[in-house]
Amino acid sequence: MCGESNRPTFGGTIAVLFPPSHCLTSNASERSLSSSPDSIASTTSSVSSSASYSLCFRDTEKCNGNKTKAVFQFNDPETYEALRECQHVDMRIEKYGDLSTGTPTTTPLYSFRLDLTRIPPKKPGHYQTEMEFELPESLDLGVSVKGVVGRQVTVSDADGGVLGVGIVGYN
């Protein structure tokens, strides 16, 4: 990139996830061909009325090798609580980064079930801003055949309801 930037960098990658704002038809011809995150939604959930949130991926070093952490970051308590109520969510990292194609039915590049029941309960009067998970495998946080940058991320509940969709980029 050219020029100076005051924006701090944190390393790793980030995807801003947008919950579907309303139920859309599953007919692809009636979907917007723009890059709107709503264009992939076919079901709604309790998170659909919530705000956008971030999903960051960071590499960590462990005794038994490198691992990747997935960290959900929230700006409002309602979105945090709505996601936490799901108990388990499925996170898919697709092979492509096209938000206009509808809910993917192909095998993803990566797929993980995240257990939200392991998140400690919040302290009374405190506002939680993050949920952190160690993934069972290390992700390539770059651009490559197995890299996650430029790929679509979909988070859904146990019933397949879309909770958020975004594209992974550098943080």
Average pLDDT over residues 120-133: 82
Domain ranges of the chain: 13-23+34-170
Neighbours of 75 (CB within 10 A): 12
Residue pair 62/82 in contact (Cβ under 8 Å)? The answer is: no
How far apart are alpha carbons 18 and 34 in whole angstroms? 15
Q: What is the pLDDT of residues 129-168, one digit of tens each?
A: 899 999 999 999 999 999 999 999 999 998 989 999 999 9
Residue pair 130/79 in contact (Cβ under 8 Å)? The answer is: no
How far apart are alpha carbons 123 and 46 in whole angstroms? 23
Q: What is the pLDDT of residues 33-42, one digit of tens each?
A: 334 444 444 4
Q: Concatenated DSSP letters for 101-170?
A: G-S--SPPSEEEEEEGGGSPPPPTT----EEEEE-SS--B-SSSSSB-TT-EEEEE-TT--EEEEEE-EE
How far apart are alpha carbons 124 and 21 in whole angstroms? 30
May I ask the CATH class of domain 13-23+34-170?
A: mainly beta
65-73 and 130-134 strand pairing: antiparallel
How far apart are alpha carbons 34 and 16 in whole angstroms? 17
Q: What is the pLDDT of residues 70-118, one digit of tens each?
A: 999 999 888 888 888 898 999 999 999 988 877 678 899 999 999 998 8
